[in-house]
Amino acid sequence: MHENSVRKRSWQSHLVHLLVRARMRPHALKPIDPQWVRENMGRPRGVRRLMARATGATLRPLSPGHLWPGGEVVSSPLASESTPVVLYLHGGGFIACSPETHRPLVSSLAQRLTAKIYVPVYRLAPEHPFPAALDDALAAYRFIVEHENIDPSRLLFAGDSAGGGLVLSLTMKLRQKGLPLPRAIVTFSPWADLATTGASLDENSDSCAMFAGITIRNAARFYVGNSESHDPLLSPLYGDFKDFPPLLIHAATDEVLRDDSIRVAERAHAAGVPVTFRMWRGVPHVWQFFAAVLPEARESLEDVTKFVRKHLD
């Protein structure tokens, strides 16, 4: 397992950290209104659309059907029948966000990997608690493999935050059902412990640009519902990582979800999984969104590119 941190922050990271903090922290200690979060996450939308278009990636809406729950496909113009295929599960605390909010990040990945990326919608809590999101993720996987005829040896899983935890849960579900696993997994700051036991929830409650520890604890209740929060399919941190494909985890040292990443990396490594783990200092949660302006984001995505090429080759 490999871990290190960027020694010197870029001036851009200072600016992005301040902007994200000004946008997000005023709401961190307030009660969570899922509808308000859905309406406001991803704004300003025009900026995100410009960031996505700047990558040169193409977008194709994909209507529900043949198991597919709805969503879109983002592709590099150079993608071919032999390039990587990615199932990307977006973050948003299981209560918000969508393929649209995550286009800048997904488009950057598609361009760098020369890939075709499927980004499904999935049902959100609290209207649809566990296992609704996992069921929709499984349906999306089956659509890609069974209807789109993608060989799992070409398929990667990727996700950020709640979506990062969800790809780990999905992998455990596939193994449980005896279905083929993806070739590799990429996670950005995965939320893998819905029991919310990580020490960083308190240690980084002030330093995190986006959330306080109480934000995560409050959000968890929406998706957990009446389920047991230590269920490995809900909180993959408590699952068995044996026979998992190679796993890449990137996280920030200052975020409240830091310890979810650290503990997943440790458990996967102990189970014999090839783990590439790296942390960055002074960047916000899922800073990869800001690849257009943030050197640390580009560095993270370059690492992902090397990881994918290594394991697909």
- List the CATH number of the domain containing 41: 3.40.50.1820
List pLDDT tens digits, range 139-166: 999 999 999 999 999 999 999 999 999 9
The predicted model gives 95-121 an average pLDDT of 96
Task: Classify residue 5: in a domain, yes or no.
Answer: no
> Which of 107, 161, 169, 200 does the annotation list as catalytic?
161
- Cα torsion through 40, 45, 287, 137, rounded to 10: 80
Task: Classify residue 113: in a domain, yes or no.
Answer: yes
> Which of 107, 255, 261, 296 does the annotation list as catalytic?
255
The predicted model gives 75-91 an average pLDDT of 94
Task: Classify residue 92: in a domain, yes or no.
Answer: yes
Task: Classify residue 40: in a domain, yes or no.
Answer: yes
List pLDDT tens digits, range 6-17: 457 899 999 999
Q: Which residues have CB under 8 Å from 177's CB, separation 6+?
A: none
161 assigned to active site: yes
Task: Classify residue 47: in a domain, yes or no.
Answer: yes
* Whether pLDDT at 33 is above 90: yes
DSSP, collapsed to helix, strand or coil, labels residue 299 as helix
* Whether pLDDT at 257 is above 80: yes
Task: Classify residue 244: in a domain, yes or no.
Answer: yes
> Which of 261, 285, 296, 300 does the annotation list as catalytic?
285
76 assigned to active site: no
DSSP, collapsed to helix, strand or coil, labels residue 185 as strand
For position 181, what pLDDT does the model report? 98
Contact 257, 229 (CB under 8 A): no
128 assigned to active site: no
Whole-number average pLDDT of the chain: 94
- Rounded CA-CA distance 245/263 in Å is 17
Q: Tell me the percentage of the chain whose pLDDT exceeds 70.
A: 94
For position 313, what pLDDT does the model report? 73
* pTM listed for this prediction: 0.96
The predicted model gives 22-47 an average pLDDT of 87
Task: Classify residue 18: in a domain, yes or no.
Answer: yes
Structural domains counted in the chain: 1
Task: Classify residue 2: in a domain, yes or no.
Answer: no
**Residues of the domain holding 93:** 11-312
